[in-house]
Amino acid sequence: MLKDKVALVTGGSTGIGKAIATYLASLGANVVINYFVGPEEANKVAKELSDTYNIKSLAIHADVSNYESAEKLIKEVVDTFGKLNIVVNNAGITDDALILRMNETQFDRVINTNLKGVFNICKHAARPLLKSGYGRVINIASVIGRYGNVGQVNYGASKAGVIGITKTLAKEFASREVTVNAIAPGFIETPMTQKLPPEIKEEMLKHIGLGKYGKPEDIAYLVGFLASPLASYITGVVIDVDGGLTI
């Protein structure tokens, strides 16, 4: 369904990003896996995808929070493949604390990665996407950006900002048929949530209607749909994928 399309997944070598990269490759897209600290894992995933799905995949380093680094990443993608069709802004971090204890560095670090990172990538990807004739932006936000959460004032603000970017760019890009949508995951089992204390995880589980945590693939399948021609009339929306957590 995505044969000959070129997709970029930021933070694509672990967790949700890895599942997204894998599913897009299985649909036939050539996939660039952006990584920040883990070249071995990213190169391994890229090789696995190329070998398994008969597509081209490569790993490229970039710090999405850095304007010039994001610019270099997009340039390298376009220089290598000649175009860019699908951008999945997935890279993200947490650094939780109640506001009474949160310091400025914690706030800035999360905002710079999760929010400014999405701006940096969209800013540099805009021109190639608008020229591509088939463009999709899918931003991984969070239910925390919609509903808030104790101890996550930095993360909640960053993800609410991502929703603002999504709706704004959906309007800016609509006339060129580039769609821009966001997914708001609930609690998904990844390295990010593994580090939470067991009592917080157990408490969370009590509120999930379906009675289980999500898997990275639960997000990836929706990304695949939004990236496909099947979703060509959907833009500017935020879709919760949370097992009923926020009902």
- Contacts with ligand NAP, residue ranges (CB under 6 A): 10-11, 13-17, 34-38, 62-65, 90-93, 113, 140, 142, 185, 187-188, 190-193
Nearer to ligand NAP (CB atom), residue 29 or residue 218: 218
- Can you tell me the distance from the alpha carbon of 235 to that of 218, in angstroms, rounded to the nearest whole number? 20
Residue 53 Cβ vs ligand NAP, minimum distance, rounded to whole Å:
20
Query: Tokens in use for 67?
Result: 């304007």
- Can you tell me the distance from the alpha carbon of 223 to that of 31, in angstroms, rounded to the nearest whole number? 13
Could you say which of 35, 53, 155, 213 is catalytic?
A: 155
Nearer to ligand NAP (CB atom), residue 113 or residue 154: 113
Residue 32 Cβ vs ligand NAP, minimum distance, rounded to whole Å:
12
134 is catalytic: no
CB 54 within 8 A of CB 48: no
Catalytic residues: 155
